[in-house]
Chain A
Amino acid sequence: GESVGLHLPTLSVQEGDNSIINCAYSNSASDYFIWYKQESGKGPQFIIDIRSNMDKRQGQRVTVLLNKTVKHLSLQIAATQPGDSAVYFCAENTGTYKYIFGTGTRLKVLA
């Protein structure tokens, strides 16, 4: 499949453990954030979003935390599974017509 990123930071996690992926965003005016998952050979897949008036949002096995004070976003994946292995991106929007993407983190799930 395609190489999404050759020099991405990598997080290796044991299957069944929880994963925490971090993202420092660039613009204090950003109002909306999305986490995407990209598997080899595929386009980014929407996982979960959060608006700036929230500091936490939960989905199925995933939680996103937003700390506006330090411009930090994190994605927590509970009970990590082999199928979670992928590259994860955060994206921010300041209310303009474009999203800005982080560099991505590669998650490797060890059996």
Chain B
Amino acid sequence: KAGVTQTPRYLIKTRGQQVTLSCSPISGHRSVSWYQQTPGQGLQFLFEYFSETQRNKGNFPGRFSGRQFSNSRSEMNVSTLELGDSALYLCASSLEVVAGGLIYEQFFGPGTRLTVL
């Protein structure tokens, strides 16, 4: 079974531009979560989607948005890029995060390295 895939793997943008990152979850997984990873802040939760609905959101400004499609693929968008948005953006998929009192494991993709100049 193929793992989580993310495209592109590397991206260079300039301040003020916007960017869209894509994530394809493991086949059959319906939950997709996004994280930002930086040396200073570690792994920080951005948002989680299930069946095209955002169920949880982290403490990031409104410039960060996402969506999920009917095939569970997800995209995240960052508008008006700032230098501080340079980071590794990670997507993780899960069959379901929590259901019936059971929490499910989460698997990560390789990430998209975004550099803002």
B58 at the interface (CB under 8 A from A): yes
- Say how far B114's CB is from chain A's closest CB, in angstroms: 11
Complex Cα distance, B105 from A34, in Å, reads 8
Q: State how many residues of chain A have any CB contact under 8 Å with chain B.
A: 31
Q: Is the interface of B mostly helix, strand, loop or mixed?
A: strand
Report if A84 contacts B (CB, 8 A): no
18 further A-B pairs in the complex, CB-CB below 8 A; given A4-B39, A99-B33: A2-B111, A5-B39, A5-B42, A7-B40, A31-B103, A32-B103, A34-B106, A51-B103, A91-B106, A93-B97, A93-B103, A95-B101, A97-B33, A97-B48, A97-B50, A97-B97, A98-B97, A100-B45
Q: Could you show 22 A-B contacts with beta carbons less than 8 Å apart?
A: A2-B88, A2-B113, A3-B39, A4-B39, A34-B106, A41-B110, A43-B108, A43-B109, A43-B110, A46-B106, A51-B103, A89-B43, A96-B98, A97-B48, A97-B55, A97-B97, A98-B45, A98-B48, A98-B97, A99-B106, A101-B43, A103-B42
